[in-house]
Each structure stands twice: as structure tokens, then as C-alpha cells.
Amino acid sequence: MPIFAYIAVGLAGYLLGSIPTGFLVAKARGVDIRKVGSGNIGATNVFRYLGKPAGIFVLLADGLKGWVAVVLVTRLLAGWLYPSADSQDREWLAVCAGLCAVLGHNFTCWLNFKGGKGIATSAGVLAALVPWALLIILSIWILIFALSRYVSLASICASFTLPFAVWFTERDLTMTLITAGMAALAIYKHRGNIQRLMNGTENRFGRTSQSPPASTA
């Protein structure tokens, strides 16, 4: 396979994933989301400080980045750069684009390589690659969140379950190992939350109400 096809698809996926949606939405409201709450640019922090409409928009936009990277970027670039690619080649290109989109979100070049935790973007990637496994871990996320009201705990548990769900639904060792890597990265990005959960200082979703600062510019 031409290496430039991988490079082009990976770079496009990274740049798409690197769009800091939460930061941009908050900045439009005069808030630097990195300086409030957890300091994370993801949907949960936006929910807390800018409300439901902004949080839902960021959640969907971050998820869409992952889905578009896998489906549209791969089809357009692979079809143009590598028209002779067979189904297996296209699957690898799609995986490359999806992984790079998650890396772009987690380590965005626009914010000194400090980004979000990749849960929504990973969900978009999984929706395109392994939708049945996504349904399983989404069910686990909802259950854990409903019982605990901890977004972080729900995300950690869902991430841990991901490779098992992929193996159960796909019986594909390679995809299982790839998603295990995605899960490990997601859990690593939650290391601060894990420490706060162990210390009993993690915030439950909806239990704290804080107003955003007027401006942090």
C-alpha cells in the first residue's frame, strides 16, 4: 500500500480531531474553559459551566469528528490517492484515520498539544468501526452513570469494557488489540479523575452549580 495514503489519511484525521470544539464554544462566550472546573476542554466541563445546549453541541461535534474521520475522510482520500485499495486496505486506512482523530482531540496542536480525554471522539470512531461493541459499552456507561452520577467513573468502566465488547461482537483479534489501545489511552487520560475518585473529591455530575466567569480573556 502506498505509504503516502496512510500519511494523508492520518494527517487529515489528526487535523479534524484536533479542532478544539469545547475551547472554541467557550471562547465565543468569553470563557477560557481551560481555566475553570477541571480545566478540560471536553463536553462535561462545558456542560457544567456553559449549560446543556453548549455541552450537547460539544458532545455531538466531538463525536462527529471521529465518525467523519473514519467514514468521509477515508472514502474521499483513499478513493483519490489509492483507488485500487481492496476492502482490507480501506479498513486499515479507516482505522488509521480514526486513531489519528482521537490523538488529535487528546493532543491538539492548537492548544500546545493539550486537549480532551477523547471519549466522545472515540465513540464516533467506534460508531463507524464497531457499532455493536459501542452499543454494549454505551449501555455500561449509562448504567454506571445512573448509579453513581460520576461521568469519569462511567467513562473509565466503559473504556475498560471496550476490548471485551469488541471481541464478543467481532471475534477479530487485531481490532480487539487496537481498541484495547484506545481504551488504555482513555483510562490514562482519566488518571487525575481516578486519583480524585480514590480521594473522594471527584464531582458528581449535576451536584455542583457554578457560574462561569464573565471573561477570562
Residues 6+ away with beta carbon under 8 Å from 149 = 204, 205, 206, 207
Judged against a pLDDT cut of 80, whether residue 208 lies above it is answered with no
DSSP 14-68: HHHHT--HHHHHHHHTT--GGGSTT---SHHHHHHHH-HHHHHHHHHHHHHHHHH
Q: How many domains does the chain have?
A: 2
**Segment 57-97, tens digit of pLDDT:** 999 999 999 999 999 888 787 777 778 778 888 889 999 99
Entry pTM: 0.91
1 and 104 inside one domain: yes
101 and 13 inside one domain: yes
- 58 Rama class: left (phi>0) / alpha (psi -120 to 50) / beta: alpha
Q: Which residue has the higher pLDDT, 164 or 209?
A: 164
Question: What is the pLDDT, as a whole number, of residue 209?
Answer: 43
Q: Which of 78, 109, 140 is the last residue of a domain?
A: 109
70 and 139 inside one domain: no
Burial of 52 by CB count in 10 Å (0-12 exposed, 13-18 middle, 19+ buried)? exposed
75 and 147 inside one domain: no
Question: What is the pLDDT, as a whole number, of residue 207?
Answer: 58
Judged against a pLDDT cut of 90, whether residue 216 lies above it is answered with no
35 and 138 inside one domain: no
**Segment 152-162, tens digit of pLDDT:** 999 999 999 99
144 and 93 inside one domain: no
Calculate the alpha carbon distances from 73 to 52, 67, 177, 184, 210 in Å.
30, 9, 23, 25, 39
When pLDDT is averaged across residues 26-52 and rounded to a whole number, the result is: 94
Question: What is the pLDDT, as a whole number, of residue 37?
Answer: 87
Question: What is the pLDDT, as a whole number, of residue 213?
Answer: 42
74 and 144 inside one domain: no
105 and 136 inside one domain: no
Residue 29 lies in domain: 1-109
35 and 101 inside one domain: yes
Check residue 107 and report its DSSP letter. T
Q: Average pLDDT, whole number, for the chain?
A: 91
101 and 8 inside one domain: yes
212 within a domain of the structure (yes/no): no
